[in-house]
Amino acid sequence: MTMADPNVLNPHPPEFERFLHASVGEDRNGYFVTVLSALARLGLDP
């Protein structure tokens, strides 16, 4: 039995974690928006 690649569930290099999860504000429903969620809302693949 082989182990799965540990990066399968987290494909972003660790050096980008702080940037991708940095807060950029709140949406109109009061949810925090991060760089990653903003890119996802725009339909872009980070």
Cα separation, 37 vs 13, whole angstroms: 17
pTM listed for this prediction: 0.63
pLDDT in the model for residue 11: 63
pLDDT in the model for residue 16: 85
1-46 confidence digits (pLDDT tens)? 455 565 566 666 778 888 989 999 999 999 999 999 999 999 988 6
Q: What are the C-alpha distances in Å from 33 to residues 4, 7, 9, 16?
A: 31, 24, 21, 16
pLDDT in the model for residue 3: 57
